[in-house]
Amino acid sequence: MILKSLSRKGGSGHFRQLYDYISRGSEGDAMWSNFLYPEPGREQTVREFERNSNHLRKTPRHNIVYHEILSLKRLSPDQIEMQVEALRTLGQEYLSQRAPNQLSYAAIHTDQSESIHLHMMISANNIDSNRRVRIPKFQFTQIQKDLEKHLHEHYPELHEPTIYNKPWEQSQKVSHREQQLKRRTKAPSKKDQLRNLLHETFKRSQTQDQAKQALNSFGITLEQRGKSFVASQGKLRCRLKTLGLDEEFSKLKNEPNTPEKENTQSREEDPMESLKRYWKERDEHTRSQGRSR
């Protein structure tokens, strides 16, 4: 199960455009929430969204409506009907938590080969309110977890993988933008490159000071913020915990070098030299693969 939220900013022209997109090619009955009539149709739906938005101050930088998408991995054709029903139930559960007092319109699309989607159009404000509804990130994350738990408890036969309720170390987040970049370029993202470099540095270092010195030569700094360490490379800043590397770094010795230790370490390979050799061998391997294609 994947749940994502997209906002649209600007004027009320988005209502008709989004309604047409959602209704086009939809499967089964649509769903409306907090409308006077149970199935108001196109014109009444758009008009009610427009009327409700008139309570808000409209500017190019403020949200006017939300387009939110709930998707399930597509199963065999004989199971589609069951998936559609499950998706409708999940959508109703989601809207009751996410937008209990907001206008919403939703419909299911089954035209994609890999997944089926519930598209939802949600007003930016509660009914007749002059304030926009803002869902904090932590609250939206909790809704994702609760909805996934509901899915696994009531529809185990769908065999949906666990995404939002994984242990922290298994659920490192990749932004939608980062996913699109990786898919388009077929290359690791900047965050992946930073993670790989930190991992190799920690693996080849004996102390935290050694690791920091080696990383400095790559233009990477490690700073402690509270109980967390943050790796910075240019404008990119990532917590080691977010990268799943906090335990690797904490296992390194955190003590200054004595003359005796320095003599011992000098007989061993310097972590910086080990890193240089590692990246050189990796680059040569990558180039040889490119020539073989």
Q: What pLDDT, in 10s, does the model give residues 176-192? A: 555 665 566 666 778 88
Whether pLDDT at 290 is above 60: no
Query: Which residue from 99, 140, 101 is spatially nearest to 5, judged by alpha carbons?
Result: 140
Examine the domain organization and report whether 16 and 152 are in the same domain.
yes
Examine the domain organization and report whether 198 and 98 are in the same domain.
no
Examine the domain organization and report whether 155 and 191 are in the same domain.
no
Query: Which residue from 162, 163, 119 is spatially nearest to 31, judged by alpha carbons?
Result: 119
Q: What is the mean pLDDT of the chain?
A: 83
Range of the domain at 235: 187-292
Q: Does residue 18 sit within a domain? A: yes
Examine the domain organization and report whether 156 and 53 are in the same domain.
yes
Q: Does residue 260 sit within a domain? A: yes
Examine the domain organization and report whether 129 and 245 are in the same domain.
no
- Are the C-beta atoms of 5 and 66 separated by less than 8 Å? yes
CA distances from 95 to 57, 119, 188 (A): 24, 12, 36
Examine the domain organization and report whether 91 and 222 are in the same domain.
no
Examine the domain organization and report whether 84 and 192 are in the same domain.
no
Examine the domain organization and report whether 161 and 256 are in the same domain.
no
Query: Which residue from 92, 124, 125 is spatially nearest to 108, judged by alpha carbons?
Result: 92
Residue 32: which residues within 8 A CB-CB, separation 6 or more?
38, 39, 40, 45, 104, 105, 106
Examine the domain organization and report whether 25 and 134 are in the same domain.
yes
Q: Does residue 170 sit within a domain? A: no
Examine the domain organization and report whether 251 and 115 are in the same domain.
no
SS3 293: coil
Tally of structural domains, the chain: 2
Section 213-237 average pLDDT: 88
Q: List, for residues 37-79, the tens digit of each pLDDT value.
A: 878 889 999 999 999 999 998 888 899 999 999 999 998 888 8
The whole model's pTM is what? 0.60
Examine the domain organization and report whether 144 and 208 are in the same domain.
no
SS3 106: strand
Q: Does residue 121 sit within a domain? A: yes
- Taking the C-alpha atoms of 98, 71, 190 and 227 in order, what is their torsion angle to the nearest 10 degrees? 40
Lowest-pLDDT range of 32-41, 185-194, 233-242, 282-291: 282-291
